[in-house]
Amino acid sequence: MKDLREYLSALEARKDIKTVLNADPNLEMGYLTELQSSRPEQPALLFDEILNFPKGFRVLVNALNTEARFALAHGLPIELKGMQLVKAWKERLNQKFQPLPPIYIQKGTVEENILLGSNIDLNKFPIPKWNSEDGGRYIGTGDVVILKDKDTGWVNLGTYRVQAQDKDSVSIHIVDGHHGDRIRKSYWDKGENCPVAVICGQDPLLYSLASNPLCPAGISDYDFAGWLQQYPVEVIKGKTVDLPIPAHAEIVLEGEMLPPGSETRMEGPFGEWEGYFAGSAKPEPIVKINCILHRNQPILMGAPPIVAAYDLSDCRNLSQAAGMWKELEDRLPGISGVFCPNEMRGLIMTVVSMKQLYPGHVKQVAMAVAGSAMSSLNRYIIIVDDDIDPSNMSEVLWAIATRSDPAESIDIIDGFCGMRSDPRLSPEKKEKGELYYSKAIIDACRPYTWMHRYPKTIKSDPGTLQEVMKKWGSILF
């Protein structure tokens, strides 16, 4: 998709988007987002004529929150589900990477409105307060934050929460050690402000790449997106920052991230992705906004963390699984599938199905998952045989119940670096900065030394079931 509006047109053609009028950005929009995610296959929501704001200043939520919308945004067949969708995305990622850099154009649609100096005013946008305990209004939840390493010139796109502080400043919360943190320190270590651009409405593929660690460090997400979609991303040069800006973005905040020790504001608390208010308000350096660009009738894209029965968190678990599958396949044989169940907040559990080929193979795969850069806050690693569908929790639980023995099949590894948003970290540990957590490895495979003598399952052959489905499916279902 060239931009967010082209994506919305595709959703409208599929009758997969609903417009809601007159909602209040103070909590009501957040409540409606949560309620809608309590139903399966819910459409995306587009808020318009928002209370106290002019018609056309809109907010979009649940943009990628079903498998069909994830497939549409990533150029995959929309009928695919579960492991078949993960496999299709993994196979696309497995193709030979050939960087396709962005191209600069003279004028982008995002330049329809250029606000400088005294005209800069964040309050013209309907910035929601999403959750009751949030410390303020968050313009950046479904956003893309653009930074460029001072020393190498590497342009990185990341998704970080952005709190509106006043009419011309925001604060950006970046976890220590993440790519954005490394880049801002390349300026801060030299006593300089860090140039930044916050995109608050963009092509959904760019958002997906910014919020998932699929692109290797040192490679621009723009180059990666161009390769994936097979045509370059169109960008413009920032008005006040030397950064490439998506030419057809909806809203762009250009500014400078001030270093620690300078001007700060209280940031947070915020409803975290794990589903808790586990963090606390603390002073954060602000971003002084030098310029705002926005299209006519701009669309702010929201992706607030919520807990609901059918909240798929923009299907980030699918990209997590596909990226992990690719990484494992590049390193080890016998990998049949990988899935990250969204019910466990996606990133917190990884299930790998595999064909055991030699003694210790299961443990080797489990340790590769534990040590992966894509395994942040991954508490539970479950390895199952290749007759188990890792996306089918009924089968996975059956394997745990019948193929693992607690005394022999569970290993605990401690000392992994976590994050302050982890609700399981004690207040005392957070105060000391001891942000460590453990991982549990559950071997739910048949024991290698006697797997050929393991009792046969009563499961029918999948090929036979497919033939029966062809014959009787129209009658039974």
Question: Has residue 314 been placed in a domain?
Answer: no
> Over 70: is that where the pLDDT of 189 sits?
yes
> Over 70: is that where the pLDDT of 474 sits?
yes
pLDDT above 70 as % of the chain: 99
* pLDDT tens per residue across span 295-333: 999 999 999 988 876 677 778 889 899 999 999 999 999
240 in the same domain as 102: yes
The CATH number linked to 360 is 3.40.1670.10
337 in the same domain as 266: no
Do 341 and 352 contact (CB within 8 A), yes or no?
no
Mean pLDDT of the 225-253 span: 97
Q: What is the pLDDT of residue 412?
A: 96
240 in the same domain as 176: yes
343 in the same domain as 283: no
The CATH number linked to 70 is 2.30.110.10
How high is the mean pLDDT of the chain? 92
Q: What is the pLDDT of residue 40?
A: 82
- pLDDT interval class at 346 (50, 70, 90): low
Q: Report strand pairing: 138-140 vs 194-199.
A: unpaired
Q: What is the pLDDT of residue 253?
A: 98
Question: Has residue 324 been placed in a domain?
Answer: no
C-alpha angle 110-165-160 in degrees, rounded to nearest 5: 65
Question: Has residue 312 been placed in a domain?
Answer: no
Most confident of 31-35, 83-87, 371-375: 83-87
pTM summary value: 0.87
> Over 90: is that where the pLDDT of 50 sits?
yes
340 in the same domain as 297: no
* pLDDT tens per residue across span 117-171: 999 999 999 999 999 889 999 999 999 999 999 999 999 999 999 999 999 999 9
> Over 70: is that where the pLDDT of 41 sits?
yes
Strand partners, 166: 169
- Residues with Cβ within 8 Å of 457's Cβ and at least 6 positions away in sequence, in order, are 387
Measured in residues, the chain has a length of 477
Question: Has residue 242 been placed in a domain?
Answer: yes
Q: Which amino acid is at 185?
A: K
Distances 124 to 11, 56, 60, 134 between C-alpha atoms, Å: 27, 12, 17, 21
Question: Has residue 318 been placed in a domain?
Answer: no
Asked which of 281, 301, 321 is the last residue of a domain, the reply is: 301
261 in the same domain as 143: yes
**Count of structural domains, the chain:** 2
- Residues with Cβ within 8 Å of 324's Cβ and at least 6 positions away in sequence, in order, are 338, 340, 350, 352, 369, 372, 374, 375
| Axis-axis angle for helices 361-370, 316-331 (nearest 10) | 130
Q: What is the pLDDT of residue 373?
A: 74
| Nearest-angstrom CA–CA distance, 154 and 182 | 11
403 in the same domain as 268: no
Q: What is the pLDDT of residue 44?
A: 94
Question: Has residue 386 been placed in a domain?
Answer: yes
Q: What is the pLDDT of residue 233?
A: 97
Q: Which domain holds residue 82?
A: 4-301
297 in the same domain as 337: no
Asked which of 257, 278, 301 is the last residue of a domain, the reply is: 301
Least confident of 3-7, 16-20, 167-171, 430-434: 430-434
Asked which of 262, 279, 301 is the last residue of a domain, the reply is: 301
- pLDDT interval class at 431 (50, 70, 90): confident
Mean pLDDT of the 393-413 span: 95
Question: Has residue 319 been placed in a domain?
Answer: no
- pLDDT interval class at 410 (50, 70, 90): very high
* pLDDT tens per residue across span 77-114: 999 999 999 999 999 999 999 999 999 999 999 999 99
> Over 70: is that where the pLDDT of 463 sits?
yes
Q: In what order do the strands lie in the sheet with 244-246?
A: 103-104, 234-237, 244-246
266 in the same domain as 160: yes
Work out the number of other CB atoms within 10 angstroms of the CB of residue 236: 23
Residue with tokens 């006040």: 240
**Alpha-carbon torsion (399, 403, 407, 408), positive or negative:** negative
Q: What is the pLDDT of residue 275?
A: 79
266 in the same domain as 389: no
Do 130 and 29 contact (CB within 8 A), yes or no?
yes
- pLDDT interval class at 281 (50, 70, 90): confident
pLDDT above 90 as % of the chain: 73
Question: Has residue 315 been placed in a domain?
Answer: no
